[in-house]
Structure 1
Amino acid sequence: MRLAARDLAIGHGGRAIGRGLSLAVGPGEILCLLGPNGCGKTTLFRTLLGLIPALGGTVTLGEAPLARLGRAAVARRIAYVPQAHAPPFPYAAREIVLMGRTARLGPFASPGAADHAAAAAALDRLGIAGLGGQDYTRLSGGQRQLVLIARALAQGAPLLVMDEPTASLDFGNRARVLAEIAALARAGAAEGRGVIFSTHDPEQAFALGAEVLLMQGGAIRARGRPEAALTAARLSEVYGVPITVERTESGRLVCAAPLGLRRGG
């Protein structure tokens, strides 16, 4: 399954905040979307998911135009991990994960043994099986995010769209999620799965070796492999602060900005 957007215009209420956006991701591929707050990342994601209509251009899932697919058909093809989620009732974590199976059930059908097994496997894969019986609303922000990722895995869709999946995680859980994204991509060619995720941390793109789209002001500022797209000069321009990109003795690329920056300086 391949997700592709061509010459996309995005926005709200008929007002465009981004134009000329083109991208594609398929099995075994990771596409990393970076950019400052307000650049249009979340609006782009919501458009790719069909949650808001495109103002121009096209989005296709496989050979099918997104606009012609119903919500259930989209959900069987794309699983979404939002930045935050607040259910109206105190569901157990395993019930939240089980909700990922909804798109695969018929009208008025209840989850069966295979659906419960898929939910349990997703919790176990992320190392949070012990949270299954706990009240989701009482979990920490990082734990809730891991549950949402497990829900997306249980959904069994060939495409995962993750909106800043590591934003609220501590160091250990952030490393676990990045490792899972890498593992999903490695298995993607065989399993037919691709991943799109957004982040504020260029080092995550370096670590994963992911294809990069760097956005600024609703436009794509750069694209390509991270070493070529995320240069110090380009990152400094996009984020408005002097940024250096250096390679450590272990070969890892890291980014840094000087401390003590003054407003307007």
Structure 2
Amino acid sequence: MRLQAEGLAIGYPGGAVGHDLALAVGPGDILCLLGPNGCGKTTLLRTLLGLLPPLAGGVSLGGERLERLSRAEIARRAAYVPQAHAPPFPFTALEIVLMGRTARLPPFGQPGRADRAAALAALTRLGIGDLAARDYSQLSGGQRQLVLIARALAQEAPLIVMDEPTASLDFGNQARVLAEIAALAGAARGDGRAVVLTTHDPDQAFALNAQVVLMKAGRIVARGAPENALTSAALSEVYGVPVVVERTQSGRAVCAPTLARQSAPSITSEALTIT
């Protein structure tokens, strides 16, 4: 399933949040959106999913313009993982995941045995099968986030859009989710799902070997492979602090801010340093 946006302006009736945005992602691709708080990442995701109408430009999903698709058709093509929240009703974790099957049910249909099996399999895949009967609202933030990811897996859509999927997770679960994202995209085969995610951690883009869109103030300032887009100069400009990008002895890229206090940091050069 290919997602494509061109000439996109995003925002609300009161004003635009972003302008001149363009991106594309297809089967087997992982696209990482990075940028500081307020730069428009979540608004962009909501526009790509048709939850907000674009102010200009357009979005196509599977070769069809988004506005021509029904909500059910969009849900069969794209799954959304929002940031974890606490609902007002005491649904169990299994009931939350079963909601991902709704788009595959006939009108007024009820989840059947196969739907329940798919939901349980998604929970088990993420190592949280034991939470199936637990009250979702009583789970920790990290556990709720894993349940929402399981809901997207159970939806079985060819495109998965994730808003900071590792934000509430501990170190081990972050690693588990990143491995799941790589597996979903079929990075080794090139025939998997398309994945779009936002993150505040540029190291994750390197770990996933993802394509990168780096945003600032509603505009794209860099794009491409991590080693080309996530340079020290670009990250320092976008986040307003000095950032060093290095490779460890194992070959992994690491991005780290310089913690020394500086009244007016000035970064003029230095791309990817290899030691």
Q: TM-score range by the shorter chain?
A: over 0.9
Bigger shift: residues 86-95 or 228-237: 86-95
Is contact 1:162–1:196 with CA below 8 Å preserved after alignment? yes
Match of 2:30 in 1: 30
Partner of 1:181: 181
Q: Return the offset for 1:14.
A: 4.9
Question: What do residues 233-259 of structure 1 show as CA deviations (whole Å, max 9, x unaligned)?
Answer: 110011000000011000011011122
Give how far 1:84 is off. Answer: 2.2
Q: 1:99 to 1:226 in 2, by over 3 A?
A: same
Matched, 1:196 2:196: yes
Question: Equivalents in 1 of 2:47, 2:26: separation in Å?
Answer: 18
Q: Is residue 155 of structure 2 the alignment partner of residue 155 of structure 1?
A: yes
Which residue identity is paired with 2:245? V
Aligned partner of residue 167 in structure 2, secondary structure: coil
Where do 1:28-107 residues align within 5 Å? 28-107=28-107
TM alignment of 1:185-264, pairs within 5 A: 185-186=185-186, 189-191=190-192, 193-261=193-261
Q: Is 1:82–1:162's contact at 8 Å kept on the other side of the alignment?
A: yes
Whole-Å Cα distance in 1 between the matches of residues 93 and 260 of structure 2? 42
Kindly indicate whether residue 145 of structure 2 is the aligned counterpart of residue 145 of structure 1: yes
CA distances 1:100-142 after superposition (whole Å, capped 9, x unpaired): 0011111211001111111011011111101111111111110
Deviation by residue 1:62-109 (Cα, 9 ceiling, x = unmatched): 121001111111111110000122222111101100010011111211
Residues 14 and 55, structure 1, Cα contact 8 Å, conserved in 2: no
Question: Partners of 1:93 and 1:25 in 2: how far apart?
Answer: 30
- With over 3 angstroms needed to count, the CA separation of the structure-2 counterparts of 1:116 and 1:6, relative to structure 1, is same
Identity of aligned residues (%): 70
Indicate if the aligned counterparts of 2:85 and 2:141 stay in contact, CA closer than 8 A.
no
Task: Report if aligned partners of 2:35, 2:200 keep a CA contact under 8 Å in 1.
Answer: yes
Segments of 5+ residues of structure 2 without an aligned counterpart are 266-275
Let me know the Cα RMSD of the aligned residues.
1.3
* Deviation, structure 1 residue 264: 6.0
Measured at CA, do residues 263 and 116 of structure 1 come closer, stay the same or move farther in structure 2, by a change above 3 Å? Answer: farther
Which ranges of structure 1 fall in alignment gaps of 5 or more residues?
none
Q: Which amino acid aligns with 1:126?
A: L
One-letter code aligned to 2:27? P
CA distance in 2 between counterparts of 1:263 and 1:89 reads 49
Closer, same or farther in 2 for the Cα pair 1:96/1:263, shift >3 Å?
A: farther
**Counterpart amino acid of 2:6?**
R
- The runs of at least 4 aligned residues of structure 1 exceeding 6 Å deviation read none
Contact 1:27-1:185 at 8 Å conserved across structures? yes
What is the SS of the residue equivalent to 1:238?
helix
> In 2, are the aligned partners of 1:205 and 1:226 still within 8 Å (CA)?
yes
Q: CA deviation at 1:262?
A: 5.7
In the alignment, which residue of structure 1 is the partner of 2:114?
Answer: 114
TM-score (norm 2): 0.93
Q: Which residue of 2 aligns with 1:21?
A: 21
Letter in 2 for 1:176: R
How does the TM-score come out when normalised to structure 1?
0.96
Find the aligned partners of 2:191 and 2:162 in 1 and give their Cα distance: 21
Pick which of 181-190 and 63-72 moved more: 181-190
The secondary structure found in structure 1 opposite 2:179 is: helix
Q: Deviations over 1:156-193 (max 9, x none)?
A: 111000000000101000010001001111167445x1
Cα distance in structure 1, aligned partners of 2:81 and 2:59:
19
> Distance between the aligned counterparts of 1:79 and 1:109, measured in 2?
20
- When structure 1 is superposed on structure 2, of 7-16 and 211-220 the one drifting more is 7-16
